[in-house]
């Protein structure tokens, strides 16, 4: 009997767990460790953040689903990896710390045959003084954060109805943030809801981003064929911002958030301040800070993890300039190069480099969007690692049998720009591959037949359908496995 | 007189016709089918 332990129950971890459970017979054990008791469809948090959805609409209890699926679930967080075991235990194990109210703080050593690290990110609000719900800005990264943001928005709307004019600031709270798409979605849903509330004329809305161009999205932007031209995504993004009356500030590193004022440095090295009444700023991500220890008790964290605390996998981590970055640098199997029974998927794996061109100010401040590893690519990675582990257990394969490189993987993304069956809209984008490949696709870096984008009502319908479809799948309802990632 | 800002002046702006098609129900139904087909192609391409 083999035991597979999965750390994390986000999109990649949960996908891996369900696939492993379905493909492995009942003689094998699948264990999920997650500090959260609820699964969260994070793409819909933006709708929680404007008050259109509740926590219950975007989450469900993990324990119920795992009990039904036959997956052992512990509400806990992993704190220490022992990939070689220790003097007492010859086999590898992970030390977990329970987070459920009845066992809070209790530690347990859990042996494993295979480990999938899908912990996702640590929301690093501490990187910028004053950033985050415990400081002076709001967030939509978790359903609790999004609920608080919705309350703050409601209060702001009441103030505007009483005659005040307010400044709304939305964007990234640090120069190295990722998930610019979430900030993009939030700013347009905010604008749409202010219009619905009849207070749009009393609001100044500013989008502040670490992207050097609008529409970069951490993937170095897109080139799209339109009306006989190949056009940069920034052209379409700017058009939408102007149409909706949203101002923008590009290439910005937020260095400090005070009560109602943000301080930021731009790519020209100048420092600016901006007063706000409402700020939703996303934090940068780091790994969750797992410690790794070898059989002699020596700390091997730096061997398993990159300095940003994400886990090293089968990527090429050689430092090289932007011009030399290749799709081949990106991992294919997500297997640890040091321990073949450990995989890291989703946000938890260390990317070899960014996708967007990295930039520095004259003061040496790095302003570079980090590469996104969420959504569809994240689910595909979870599936890939799970299928490889199944073959390693059942067929005795020595090497991973499945691959899914972001250099040969596409992505479909629907970015909401306002919710409503008749009046809503969303930007529908597909891109192939995620990592630009200028050798295969000179000029654009991506296949122009498969890299497309458009805005319209249809996009909103799709976003809404995907919300229900993926929650259905995550609940492991009948036929869930037929729904692709 | 309302003068456009530099950001507004330089950006491409949609015409009323473009805005109409973005919400025109029959056309959006057609786009709905097309976008889904595109996404399906992308999913199949990425799940090899």
pLDDT in tens, A27-36: 999 999 999 9
Residue A456 and residue B22: Cβ atoms within 8 Å?
A: yes
Residues of chain B with pLDDT under 70: 1-4, 48
pLDDT at A447: 95
Is residue A328 less than 8 Å (CB to CB) from chain B? no
Q: What is the C-alpha separation between A75 and A264, in angstroms, rounded?
A: 39
Helix (H) or strand (E) holding B34, with range, is helix B25-46
Cα angle value A196/A145/A158 (rounded, 5°):
35
Tell me if B35 and A454 make a contact (CB, 8 A cut-off). yes
SS3 A226: strand
DSSP-assigned beta bridge partners for residue A34: A75
B47 and A484: CB-CB below 8 Å?
Answer: yes
- Per the CB < 8 Å rule, is A411 touching B42? yes
Report the candidate in A127, A60, A124 with the shortest Cα–Cα distance to residue A288.
A124
Of the candidates A316, A294, A292, A317, the residue with the CA atom closest to the CA atom of residue A305: A292
Those residues whose C-beta lies under 8 Å from the C-beta of residue A400, and which sit 6 or more positions away, are: A333, A334, A335, A343, A384, A385, A388, A391, A392
Q: Is A213 helix (H, G, I), strand (E, B) or coil?
A: coil
Q: What is the dihedral of CA A341, A345, A351, A354, to 10 degrees?
A: 170
Q: Report the alpha-carbon distance of residue A357 to residue A442 in Å, rounded.
A: 17
- Give the strand pairing for A72-82 and A29-34: parallel
Most A CBs within 10 A among B42, B43, B48, hence the mutation to make, goes to B42
Q: Helix (H, G, I), strand (E, B), or coil: what is residue A116?
A: strand
ipTM of the complex as predicted: 0.92
CA A251 – CA A360 distance, rounded (Å): 10
| CB-CB contact of A169 with A280 (8 Å) | yes
Count contacts between A and B (CB, < 8 Å): 89
Where in chain A are the domains?
Answer: 3-123+288-394
Q: B39 and A462 in contact by Cβ < 8 A?
A: yes
The DSSP code for A341 is T
Using the beta-carbon criterion (under 8 Å), do A380 and B14 form an inter-chain contact? no
Backbone angles phi, psi at A412, to 5 degrees: -115, 135
Give the closest of A248, A410, A450 to B7, CB-based.
A248
Answer whether A239 sits within 8 Å of B31, measured CB to CB: no
Torsion sign (Cα): A22, A25, A26, A27: negative
Task: Confirm if A16 and A116 have CB atoms less than 8 A apart.
Answer: yes
Burial of B41 (C-beta count, 10 Å sphere; 0-12/13-18/19+):
middle
Distance from CA of residue A294 to its chain's centroid? 30
From CA A132, how far away is CA A222, in angstroms rounded? 30
Please give the CATH number for the structural domain made up of A3-123+288-394.
Answer: 3.50.50.100
| Residue A451 CA from chain centroid, whole number | 21
In this prediction, residue A116 carries a pLDDT of 98
CA distance B27 to chain A (A): 9
Distance from CA of B1 to the nearest CA of A (A): 17
Measure CB to CB from residue A243 to each of B5, B14, B28 and give the nearest one.
Answer: B14
**So what's the pLDDT on residue A444?**
92
Write down the pLDDT at residue B2.
59
The per-residue pLDDT for range A95-112, each reduced to its tens digit, is 999 999 999 999 999 999
Task: Establish if B37 touches chain A: CB-CB under 8 angstroms.
Answer: no
Q: Residue A206: which of A279, A265, A257, A255 has the closest Cα?
A: A279
Instruction: Name the 3-class secondary structure at A403.
Output: coil
Residues of chain A with pLDDT under 70: none
Asked if A108 and A94 touch (Cβ cutoff 8 Å), the reply is no
Residue located via tokens 């990632």: A485
pTM listed for this prediction: 0.95
Structural contact between residues A365 and A410, judged by C-beta atoms closer than 8 angstroms: no
Note whether B31 contacts A: Cβ–Cβ < 8 A: yes
Quote the DSSP letter at residue A311: B
Residue B3 has what pLDDT? Answer: 62
């Amino acid at each position: 009997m083999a035991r597979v332990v999965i750390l994390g129950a986000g999109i990649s971890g949960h996908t891996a767990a369900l696939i492993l459970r379905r493909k492995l017979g009942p003689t094998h054990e699948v264990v999920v460790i997650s500090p959260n008791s609820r699964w969260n469809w994070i793409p819909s948090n933006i709708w929680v953040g404007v008050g259109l959805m509740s926590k219950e609409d975007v989450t469900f209890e993990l324990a119920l689903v795992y009990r039904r699926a036959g997956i052992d679930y512990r509400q806990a967080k992993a704190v220490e990896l022992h990939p070689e075991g220790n003097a007492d235990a010859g086999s590898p194990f992970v030390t977990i710390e329970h987070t459920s109210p009845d066992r809070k703080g209790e530690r347990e050593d859990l042996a494993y045959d295979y480990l999938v690290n899908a912990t996702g990110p640590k929301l690093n609000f501490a990187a910028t003084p004053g950033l985050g719900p415990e400081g002076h800005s709001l967030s939509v990264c978790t359903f609790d954060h999004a609920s608080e943001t919705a309350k703050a928005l409601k209060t702001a709307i009441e103030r505007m109805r009483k005659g005040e004019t307010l400044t709304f600031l939305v964007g990234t709270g640090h120069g190295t943030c990722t998930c610019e798409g979430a900030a993009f979605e939030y700013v347009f849903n905010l604008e749409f809801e202010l219009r619905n509330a009849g207070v749009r004329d009393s609001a100044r809305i500013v989008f502040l981003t670490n992207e050097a161009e609008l529409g970069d999205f951490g993937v170095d932007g897109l080139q799209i064929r339109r009306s006989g031209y190949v056009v940069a995504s920034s052209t379409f993004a700017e058009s939408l911002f102007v149409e909706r009356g949203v101002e923008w500030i590009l290439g910005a590193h937020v260095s400090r958030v005070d009560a109602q004022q943000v301080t930021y440095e731009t790519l020209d090295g100048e420092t600016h301040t901006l007063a706000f009444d409402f700020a939703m700023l996303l934090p940068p991500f780091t790994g969750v800070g797992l410690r790794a220890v070898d059989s002699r008790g020596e700390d091997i964290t730096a061997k398993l993890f990159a300095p940003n605390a994400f886990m090293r996998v089968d990527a090429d981590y050689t430092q090289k300039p932007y011009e030399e970055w290749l799709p081949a640098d990106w991992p294919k199997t997500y297997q640890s190069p040091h321990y073949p029974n450990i995989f890291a998927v989703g946000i938890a794996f260390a990317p070899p480099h960014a996708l967007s061109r990295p930039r520095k100010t004259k003061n040496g401040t790095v302003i570079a969007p980090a590469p996104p590893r969420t959504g569809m690519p994240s689910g595909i990675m979870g599936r890939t690692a799970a299928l490889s582990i199944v073959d390693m257990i059942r067929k005795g394969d020595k090497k991973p049998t499945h691959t899914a490189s972001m250099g040969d993987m596409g992505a479909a993304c629907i970015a909401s720009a306002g919710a409503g069956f008749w009046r809503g809209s969303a930007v529908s984008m597909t891109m192939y591959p995620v990592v630009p490949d200028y050798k295969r696709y000179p000029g654009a870096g991506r296949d122009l037949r498969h890299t497309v984008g458009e805005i319209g009502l249809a996009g909103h319908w799709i976003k809404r359908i995907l919300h229900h479809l993926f929650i259905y799948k995550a609940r492991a309802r009948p036929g869930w496995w037929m729904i692709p990632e | 007189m309302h003068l456009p800002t530099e950001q507004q002046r330089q950006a491409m702006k949609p015409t009323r016709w473009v805005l109409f098609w973005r919400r025109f129900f029959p056309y959006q139904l057609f786009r709905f089918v097309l976008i889904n087909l595109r996404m399906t192609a992308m999913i199949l391409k990425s799940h090899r």
